[in-house]
């Protein structure tokens, strides 16, 4: 499979929960800016917990959409690994940027 097609499919899947992920990340960034590095551990685990809830929600309510991705050659596990990895890396990158600003 071409890399561009793969990235486009993962992006299409990630758009299912991008709004909630961005809202949670912005809340975490605000709290990190206010309280500093002391709160990072709690924010990181809060982000992981919300990703777990998102995983459960998407698996429960959009389980039939996986057939679309499987027919195009992308497995359910690969969708989740790539989209959650991107979300975590984006979160850590933004935390680092806020830390540099402060």
Domain ranges of the chain: 3-101
Please report the pLDDT score of residue 32 as a whole number.
96
pLDDT 10s digits, 24-77: 999 999 999 999 999 999 999 999 999 999 999 999 998 899 999 999 999 999
Please report the pLDDT score of residue 1 as a whole number.
72
- C-alpha distances in angstroms, 61 versus 5, 19, 24, 72? 25, 17, 20, 21
Please report the pLDDT score of residue 78 as a whole number.
95
What tokens does 46 get?
A: 């809060």
Please report the pLDDT score of residue 70 as a whole number.
94
Report residue 102's pLDDT band, with 50, 70 and 90 as the boundaries: confident
Report whether 70 contacts 76 (CB < 8 A).
yes
Report residue 92's pLDDT band, with 50, 70 and 90 as the boundaries: very high
How do the residues of the chain divide into helix, strand and coil, expressed in percent and rounded to 5? 90, 0, 10
Please report the pLDDT score of residue 34 as a whole number.
95
Report whether 96 contacts 25 (CB < 8 A).
no
Please report the pLDDT score of residue 63 as a whole number.
87
């Amino acid at each position: 499979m071409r890399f561009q097609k793969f990235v486009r499919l993962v992006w299409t899947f990630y758009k299912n929960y991008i709004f909630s992920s961005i809202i949670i990340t912005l809340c975490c960034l605000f709290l990190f800016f206010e309280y500093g590095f002391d709160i990072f551990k709690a924010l990181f685990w809060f982000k992981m917990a919300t990703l777990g809830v998102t995983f459960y929600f998407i698996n429960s309510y959009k389980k039939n959409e996986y057939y679309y991705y499987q027919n195009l050659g992308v497995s359910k596990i690969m969708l989740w690994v790539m989209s959650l990895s991107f979300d975590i890396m984006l979160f850590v990158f933004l935390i680092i940027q806020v830390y540099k600003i402060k």
